[in-house]
């Protein structure tokens, strides 16, 4: 299914259900007998999508084989979390989520089921500023080859394993009771 991506970028849509006509590209889009696109790549970037409600149903309206989606660009939208519906896209290899509003590193953990995922982008989200950002991503998605357009090295993978075992966010901190003296 190597063909031009179905491109709904820069259309000011707030939901995938709002997608009407894809942008024209340099290569023509191929369709099947039911006028659904024969494509494994989908661009939904630079819109105002906040969540992926009914995502699979919505993309099945225009993609011939939505579960075979291999490349998905959801960058520069308004998403604050990673929807678990993405895990139903078992063939997903490339996922762009940069430039959204994702603020919790634990959101990345949801993608652990995507064993074919080799490239992800998450820079430009609030999580980028959290300590251990890259190590966390590499530790929970150990099969990645690129994070934020930068190759994952063998040394990073080894360090991420160590980091994961000693992740400060997983430790519970025992606080001693506060002693007050009365005056």
Q: Which residues of the chain have pLDDT under 50?
A: 1, 171-183
The distance of Cα 73 from the centroid of its chain, to the nearest Å, equals 8
What is the reported pLDDT for 63? 96
Distance of CA 108 to the CA centre of its chain: 8
User: What structural domains does the chain harbor?
Assistant: 6-170 (3.80.10.10)
Entry pTM? 0.88
Position 2 scores a pLDDT of 60
DSSP letter string, 95-156: EE-TTS----GGGGGGGGG-TT--EEE-TTSGGGGSTTHHHHHHHHSTT-SEETTEEPPHHH
Tell me whether strands 119-121 and 71-73 are parallel, antiparallel or unpaired: unpaired
Dihedral pair phi/psi, residue 51, rounded to 5°: -145, 170
């Amino acid at each position: 299914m190597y063909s031009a991506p179905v491109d709904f970028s820069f259309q000011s849509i707030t939901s995938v259900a709002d997608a009407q006509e894809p942008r024209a590209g340099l290569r023509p889009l191929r369709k099947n007998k039911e006028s659904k696109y024969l494509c494994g790549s989908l661009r939904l970037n630079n819109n105002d999508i906040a969540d992926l409600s009914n995502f699979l149903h919505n993309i099945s309206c225009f993609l011939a084989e939505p579960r075979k989606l291999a490349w998905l660009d959801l960058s520069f939208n308004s998403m604050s979390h990673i929807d678990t519906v993405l895990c139903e896209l078992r063939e997903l290899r490339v996922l762009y989520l940069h430039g959204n509003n994702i603020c919790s590193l634990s959101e990345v953990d949801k993608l652990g089921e995507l064993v074919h995922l080799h490239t992800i982008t998450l820079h430009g989200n609030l999580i980028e500023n959290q300590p251990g950002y890259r190590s966390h991503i590499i530790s929970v998605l150990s099969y990645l080859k690129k994070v934020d357009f930068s190759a994952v090295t063998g040394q990073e993978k080894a360090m991420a394993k160590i980091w994961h075992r000693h992740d400060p966010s997983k430790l519970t901190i025992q606080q001693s009771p506060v002693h007050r003296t009365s005056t």
